Structure 1
Amino acid sequence: MSLEQKIMGDMKAAMLAKDEKALRALRAIKAGIINAKTAEGAGGVISEEEEQKLLLKLVKQRRDSLEIFTQQNRPELAQKEQEEIEVIEKFLPKQLDPEELKAALRAIIEQTGAKSPADMGKVMGMATKQLAGKADGKAISATVKELLAG
């Protein structure tokens, strides 16, 4: 079952349950899928990898907004963003916890032979490919800096 089919099924369930929170997030995902499918060169089809990237992008947008709304003391808007993040994350693979992320990054650092923070680019290139969908880019970057600095 494709992501789009899962979203459509969940949208129907959310409509019947009158779950506005879920419906808002599901509509955003559906809009993102439609935009990706109709983008130039997409040919009306998106791969599973592209679906994961789309979901990660949607979560990142909402986290950025959540941060801004929290800084501006807008709890009602921050709450909406948090609710949407929770719904969207249900469609992503399980995220690595900090210890699993460190272990995976240590292995990548060993593979690349990185020794200092100057080698961060090599590590990040490989890490973002291998850990796509499993960890946030900011978390990967911060952990790589920490491991290479130590």
Structure 2
Amino acid sequence: HPQTQGKIERFHQTLKLWLARQPAAWTLEELNTQLREFQHIYNDQRPHRALNRRTPDATYRAIPKAVPKQLPGQEHFRARMDRIDQTGTVSLRYGGRLRHLGIGRAYKHEKVRILVKDNDVIVIHHDTAEIIAEFILDDSKDYQGKKKHPDPKTGV
């Protein structure tokens, strides 16, 4: 779209002018560092005239995001198939972030079914239907350890 093309060209002009005022980058790492700095300034520090002098990041965060509506009493269920990687983990998107579920290296490369109900996750071996791991997802952690079951002998 011509209007979008104009916005992109204007952004490129701003980026090129900013880079021209920086010391020349001699390595890709130096250039990436400069580009990250520009991104931070452009999104987090620079007020924008079209956004009532707010930063793009502040404007983005101020708007509630669209999510599917869940009816009262309705629970969220998901099922998917995956393969455990060579480190014994499988990835799952939850709460807008990628979580890594620690299954165990004994199951590396095995196909699994993953059942998710809200923050409870069950991992089932694809071929044997054996439950091989259970999780209660913690929003504050990327890596999720297996749910600990009480020892039948000690109760701990």
TM-score in terms of structure 1 length? 0.29
Q: Which has the higher strand share?
A: 2
Report which of the two structures shows the higher radius of gyration computed on alpha carbons.
2
RCO (CA 8 Å, sep 6+): is it higher in 1 or 2? 1
Q: Which has the higher helix share?
A: 1
